[in-house]
Structure 1
Amino acid sequence: MHKVKLGIVGCGAVTQIYHLPASRLLSGAKIEALVDLDLNLAQKLCSKYKIPYCFNDYRKLFGLVDGVIIALPNKLHASTSIEFLKERIPVLCEKPLATSAHDAEEVIKTSEKFKTPIAVGLIRRFYTSSRLVKFIISKNILGKIYRFEIEEGIVYDWPTISGFYFNRLASGGGVLMDTGSHVLDLVLWWFGDNVINFDYKDDDLGGGIEANSELNLVINYKGDQIEGTIELSRTRRLRNSYKIFGEKGWLEFFPFDTEKVQLNLKRKQQHGMIYDKKLDLGGGKRNIIYYFYEQLKDFVQVIAGDKASPYVDGKTAYQTVKLIEACYNKKQNIPMPWITNGIN
């Protein structure tokens, strides 16, 4: 039986920590080649994972692989994806799909023109926990939803190899472009993309990248308005949970737990007293490597023709890119009282 041959472009942290270990779980596909400008790094990884080919030019993958994973600095996502799509090679592009809405649109247009799928690595969509939240919302278990509160922040410790995260030209932005791609993707997936109002603040004073950001927004969901707050940080440990409030109760989602959701349902007792019934849903033992495997398996099924489209395709990922760009365009500064030069 023919195994789907995959190439990976970019041998940085996400490839080493997630994609390569996850690829070992695949039965219907194999990694055929690695590409990195640091050929020595690619060769070491090829030796470790018994991968036949390594190159420092991704164009050498043309005609060699059935699909490709793009794990390059953000600024290169769109242009590199377009080159492979023009060769009719399916693409799984790490998030974000692009650093601008225009570039994301060009990727989607190319995918449609050459009838070649584009998948986007918004891995949290695959989590059991995020699917549970989607189910709870879609089944109206919380009743009418009126608010959500999101906090996600740690002291930044990602073992970046290229360091592109700290260069705005290469990254396209800071914590909003990075963590925010995951967060906003889930919000728009759960509630739809009809954002009717928002205001955005961060701590970049011009030309750099933001380490802290705050977003307030209003989403029209099934005719009702849901107000939400999102606080993100690369310098502080925040609560690291997403709370969603409805008329029948509330839930809490934990972004660093791929399985668990806490559901709190209101129930009436004697004398009109209302109590919360707390339910811990999910709670399995699968780690994030498993979900990278699920993402790869989904991509391989599309390449093999077993699925019509990826679980997360370019069109849905585009909505997040568009909202992030709108936030940056409308940006104000977070109040910083220690600055007295009139910026705030």
Structure 2
Amino acid sequence: MRPHPRLDLAVVGCGAVVDGLYRGALGKLESRGIVRVAALVDPNAARTAALGRHFRSARAFATVDEAFAALMPDLVIVASPPGRHAEHAAAAFAAGSNVLCEKPMAASVADAEHMLGAARHSGRVLAVGLVRRMFPSLVEARALLDAGALGDDLRFSYREGLVYSWPVSTDAAFRRATAGGGVLMDFGSHALDFLAALFGTPAVHAYADDAYGDGVETNCRIELALPRASGVVQLSWSQPLVTGLHIVGSKGELTLQPSRVDSVRWRRSGESWRTLKSTVAWPTDLRRAGEWRTPRTYYDCIHAQLVQALRAVLWGEPVPATGENGLAVAQVIEACYRHPDPLRIPWLTPEEQAQTQHRHWSVERSAAA
């Protein structure tokens, strides 16, 4: 006898995020009889057809209204463009479903607050796909900080950058109207939430980017102050930066790389570096006394995040990243965009630098106002 009912899922937005990140986890859970992918929602019929080849029992719909008129999924994965997250999440809550919303939770603070309000009004779960909350390395780093291993006066630098290569089928990710922003919305959502999980709520001291017109930034730099630390974040869609978090305190230092989800390197001042490999584990299924496993890859963390969202629906367990966490990230991003400075590009001549500053989106926004 099955210890719990099979849960029905709907996927809203069937683009690269779902195909590249969620499809594997959904396939594993469906093959084990834990879930059934019941609906695929996307205005592009080619995308639902392509994804539907992996989920034979799923029905395809062009709109959320059509989908929720036909069925009521237990959990809806919202992976549409960020500018439509609030609309699609609110529709899911109104239909009686729970939501796992891909990051960024929303393109604006107002949208994030609307989503939170809709979740509370419906009494349903709102989980946010800030998957780095599932990293065992985060748990280990937080334990070291809590134990005072690095001392006080904590300072950090966080860098994440690569040449953008994510497969996209539309230009939605590169227009501020649909994406809300560029690399800050993308990498920054993860980075800001990760730092908040370690150090507390960030406050923005300075922000600069390279966005022009109605496009989005490909590079940005943020100076942050948090309750337990202060430091700088540098993000890029155009440069392969040496990615990672480096924390220095009065007694030691620590490094952590997003590509190594299960380990941290740290040392006390004057001592050799040591690698701490984590054994922190998450449930792999929905049984109350089921198997737990330590995630070793990013895809393991995606699977663990999805399982934990389903356990929240079924058993009322907490989700790793809440709507409140998503709202906090949206507030920091909006604070950055409220007062952006042109990013200084040191290899440009003074004349070229002046031209880029004149074309910066903050100048055009001020002129329009």
TM-score, normalized by length of structure 1? 0.91
Higher strand residue share: 1
SS in 2 for 1:276: coil
SS in 1 for 2:357: coil
Q: Does 1:59 align with 2:65?
A: yes
Q: Does 1:91 align with 2:94?
A: no
Deviations 1:294-322 (A, max 9, x none): 01101111111x13432211011111100
AA of the residue aligned to 1:175: V
Equivalent residue number for residue 202 of structure 1: 209
Separation in 2, partners of 1:211, 1:95: 18
Q: CA deviation at 1:39?
A: 1.7
Q: CA deviation at 1:159?
A: 1.0
Separation in 1, partners of 2:176, 2:15: 18
Q: CA deviation at 1:139?
A: 2.5
Identity of aligned residues (%): 29
Match of 1:121 among 96, 116, 129: 129
Q: Does 1:215 align with 2:222?
A: yes
Equivalent residue number for residue 329 of structure 2: 320
SS in 2 for 1:277: coil
Question: Is 1:74–1:170's contact at 8 Å kept on the other side of the alignment?
Answer: yes
Counting only pairs closer than 5 Å after superposition, residues 191-270 of structure 1 correspond to structure 2 as 191-193=199-201, 195=203, 197-221=204-228, 226-266=229-269
TM-score, normalized by length of structure 2? 0.85
Q: CA deviation at 1:342?
A: 8.2
Gaps of 5+ in 1: 267-274
Equivalent residue number for residue 283 of structure 2: none
Match of 1:70 among 51, 72, 78: 78
Separation in 1, partners of 2:49, 2:164: 29
Equivalent residue number for residue 271 of structure 1: none
Question: Is 2:15–2:47's contact at 8 Å kept on the other side of the alignment?
Answer: no
Task: Sort the Cα spacing of 1:20 and 1:342 in 2 relative to 1 into closer, same or farther, 3 A.
Answer: closer
Question: Is 2:98–2:125's contact at 8 Å kept on the other side of the alignment?
Answer: yes
Deviations 1:18-58 (A, max 9, x none): 11111123242221221111223212321233233222222
AA of the residue aligned to 2:210: D
Question: Is 1:145–1:244's contact at 8 Å kept on the other side of the alignment?
Answer: no
Q: CA deviation at 1:112?
A: 0.9
Separation in 2, partners of 1:241, 1:311: 22
Q: Does 1:133 align with 2:147?
A: no
Q: CA deviation at 1:264?
A: 1.6
Q: CA deviation at 1:165?
A: 1.1
Separation in 1, partners of 2:90, 2:333: 21
Q: CA RMSD in A?
A: 1.8
Match of 1:276 among 262, 271, 280: 271
Counting only pairs closer than 5 Å after superposition, residues 20-35 of structure 1 correspond to structure 2 as 20-26=23-29, 27=32, 28-35=34-41
Deviations 1:267-319 (A, max 9, x none): xxxxxxxx223111227882222111101101111111x13432211011111
Task: Sort the Cα spacing of 1:285 and 1:113 in 2 relative to 1 into closer, same or farther, 3 A.
Answer: closer
Deviations 1:203-247 (A, max 9, x none): 1133221111001122223xxxx2210111111111101101112
Separation in 1, partners of 2:335, 2:87: 21
Separation in 1, partners of 2:38, 2:184: 34
How many correspondences in the alignment? 330
Q: Does 1:333 align with 2:342?
A: yes
Separation in 1, partners of 2:316, 2:142: 22
AA of the residue aligned to 1:235: S
Separation in 2, partners of 1:186, 1:119: 16
Question: Is 2:193–2:329's contact at 8 Å kept on the other side of the alignment?
Answer: yes
Q: Does 1:295 align with 2:305?
A: yes
